[in-house]
Amino acid sequence: MYKYLLFDADNTLFDFTKASAVAFRETLAHYKIEQKEETYPTYLKINNECWASLERGEITPKEIKPLRFKLFLDAINETGNPLEVNDHYLRSLGEKDYLLDGAKELLLELKAQKYSLSIITNGLQLVQRPRIEKAGLTHFFDAITVSEEIGVAKPKPAFFDDTFRQLGQPKIDDVLVIGDNLSSDILGGINIGADTAWFNAKKKINKTEIKPTYEVDGFKALRKLIG
């Protein structure tokens, strides 16, 4: 049915939720910033707003790095170099190669069955490349596209130009876009005319107008879908 499977990275293959929390605690401890109960939720809110701005094309992948920590430090009344704090967080995050349970087994099976696998991520180079390599996944993928490296992010169709170039311009009917984020992964796939699979492991309610082709709640369901 499909020949080319384009996977998002964070919270689709990697446990980004766990990795981010650990890297954030390590970063604040390094800079001796007090960690209160509301500190991490404050960062998450600001970070999510910044990534939403990126997806809307209001800021670039390069701009998001200092901006989110500048806003965060301002919000908690702390001083510091936001780009320096951000880089420490990213280096720590890049060391956290936590995969979701069953991710590597799925990739092994799909690769053995000759599917072409790719990673499509709005993440940052300092995080994604080291983490993919540390997890031992690099050799699984025929294409890896990182938004910061190309200067454009999902859901813009131009983001996928890089992936399709690496894959030799496959037919769109042969492509399935897989990801947990409706507004970037799924909308991005829709924007290029590809079928999409919403990886909804937390069984969230879709309150948007974005309609994926399929919805799966885990790797078992995804494997059954792919065939």
DSSP 75-122: HTT--S-HHHHHHHHHHHHHT---BPTTHHHHHHHHHHTT-EEEEEE-
Confidence of residue 13 (pLDDT cuts 50, 70, 90): very high
Domains and CATH numbers, the chain: 4-15+98-226 (3.40.50.1000), 16-94 (1.10.150.240)
Q: What is the pLDDT of residues 150-185, one digit of tens each?
A: 999 999 999 999 999 999 999 999 999 999 999 999
82: pLDDT confidence band, cut at 50, 70 and 90? very high
Q: If you ran DSSP here, which 8-state letter would residue 183 be given?
A: I
Rounded CA-CA distance 100/217 in Å is 13
Q: Please provide the average confidence, as pLDDT, over all residues in the chain.
A: 95
